Structure 1
Amino acid sequence: MKINKLKFLLEYPKFRLELNKLNDIIFFFPFYQFGGAERVHINILEVSKDLGTSCFITENSANEFFRKEFEKNTHLIPYFKLKTKKYKIYTRQIAMAINKKKSPVVFGCNNTLFYDILPLLKSHVQIIDLIHAFSYEEPFSSEKVSLPMAEKIDVRVVLGEKTKNDFRNLYLSNNISEHLTERIKIIKNKVDIPERLSAKFYTKTLKVLFVARNSFEKRPHYIIEIAKRCIEKKIDVEFNVVGDFETTFSDLKNIKIIGPIDSKQKMQEIYQAHDILLITSFREGFPMVISEGMAYGVIPVSTDVGEISEIVNSRNNNGIIISDFNLPLYSLSKERISGKFLNYENESLVINDFVNALKTLYENPKLRKEYSNNAYETAKIFFSKEKFYNSYKNILVNKKSST
């Protein structure tokens, strides 16, 4: 108690000074650590940089990977440093500072502080949230926690039709008016797309990329099992892993750990050097790594989760979707999802399908080239920087007082 009280007395005056500098557009994001969602959040901050923004970072990040980019694009407030038993005091103070503004906009994603503040905000505040994907197995996920605030939220941003339909069903099952789905806007993420697709130098070895943070929903243990079975089936595949993984992640000869990459140019060079991108997650929205990879002709091979199959499908001939056999994730523990039950029958079937997909692409260079070209063309259609900027700027400047 004494430590918390001392911390409060030391930090509270600094916090009040930060609130005095609060801009009219206020973001609430959880982390600045390595991750695709954090890259999207930086892109949104870039869109609104010239409008003047402040951004609360609400949770303690696993690393400071993107901190400098956040600081470059917004007035950053590391709220997580203030976590004490005085939480209610801080939430009230933040709400009061926002309410004093003439036409404020608050924008939140994936954190409870944002939703705890919403009931305290006055009616003139424009409220926007972003839901990357539903977290069906999490009892306190954003889509569930936000339900009491559904009427108060003016705009909800999602990445595709699937999440919009998920919201429709969630509202209906909780006796919330379906007309609130009219407030949901679909905005695809943006990527830098080269003017033309550089030719890939297809080698005998199939080069496969896995880019992710080391998190249980990404199921990195699948990569090890896929790599093992490729060795058993004599499929010449080289797996390269980008992310916050230890060098001891695997001792297999066909897996190399690159580690996290903070250079956009270096990441583009990595995409250019690879044929396939693997997504093994049980939960996603639409991963940034897919859109980034497709811009460089990398073929996605992914589980059928989130919005992915809306873009990657047989109609577009731009990748391969792996059925996840409708795993009942809401009933699975994190231990099972994280791979302690690797003999789980459905997991083995999914892993086999990944191996078979790689085998097909390995044996058919002509098919790889076709999928690669189509992936690039798809990226140009869906992941336009102009569409992204215009869509976000429109909702951020559409102040409530002027509607």
Structure 2
Amino acid sequence: MARVPSKHDRDNPLDFEGFLNNLQDWELSLKDKDKKLKSQSDVDNMIGVDKRQNGKSTFLNNPSTTKGEDYLKKYEAVGRISSDFNTDDSSIDANSEKELGNEFFKKRKYKEAIDCYSRSLALSPTAVAYANRAMAYLKLKKFKEAEVDCTEALNLDDRYIKAYSRRSTARKELGKLKDSKEDADFALRLEPNNQEIKKQYADAKALYDNELLKKVSSQVKASTEGVQKDEKSNNGQRSTPKISETTRVSAPKTESIEINHKIGKKNIKESVQQLAARAASLATSEAEKTILPPTSAYQFEVSWRGFLGDRTLQFRLLQATNPVALPTIFKNAMSAPLLIDIIRCIATFFSDEVDLAVKYLQNLPKVSRFDMIIMCLSPADKSDLEKIWNEVFCKKEVVQEYIETLHQLRPRYCVTK
């Protein structure tokens, strides 16, 4: 006999169906909340709301739920991407800091300008930012700091005229008159028609010349005073013999004084000439001691021009400079006048230093733009170069191994056979 289902058995399907309905409703509600969370996250990203600061988000205030943890992970990922963009965009930030520094400088707020330039340099060092900060230091009379900044600017760009000009000003105030003149001189050679730099060079040269004149005058004065003292002592010794009152005659005494005076003048003149000769010799020897290997085209050219008219010192500079380092030293700063002058100097001492001369002739063509410089030489310089090559570099007394090397170098110097 079939069993009649009880009331409990009849209610079970209904309960199970209700459970399924509740489960479906709960799943739909979760999906709806998830959509709302995603839309809220998109809005926050668009308007740039930082929920870590305002703390108004439900899921940030209560990150215990799974949804809240997911949102936090997504937010942190976005933050990392944003920080990466900021790092890559540092050059823009450096430029904006520099521009802000320029605005402060125009308003004569030099300390604030220095702060801005310093931040710009921390982000991206440039020659312009260093030179600008140097100018602000000059306004505050911080000349040592200005000199250092100009040097840093020239390390980044060794042909930056403003850095040379501002360093010249700083060095003048620091009493480094020779260095000040050299900086102004180099800036003028970079821009010969700049009237402001012309005036700066003239002032720097006048100050340096006056300083030299004072030194020479003091030396001559000291030497003259020494000679006069010697003459007085000599005159005194000559007048010591005792002469009776009856034998004194005024005329011979006067003549003796005049003769001694002439001798004194002659001795003074000779002593001054000797002093000048000794000073010149001393200056040459001291210059030879202070020749250091240049590390840039600026240093080489300043030293070379400083020894203008003295081939011996110029050749000492060549000896102090490693020929292999020429491309690194000059980069693209070699000029035609300097090149032809170096070759003439090499020719002067070629017989004494053949090996060094050949090494220079081998490495000079490795300097940037060498071929262009050779092509742009004047007809007179080309003729002079060919004459030097044929009469000095390829004469019979040269060792055969050097002759072959020089023969191979002919085409690079555009010298015909």
Q: TM-score, normalization: structure 2?
A: 0.24
Higher Rg: 2
Q: Which has the larger share of helix?
A: 2
Q: Which has the higher contact order (CA 8 A, sep 6+)?
A: 1
Q: TM-score, normalization: structure 1?
A: 0.25
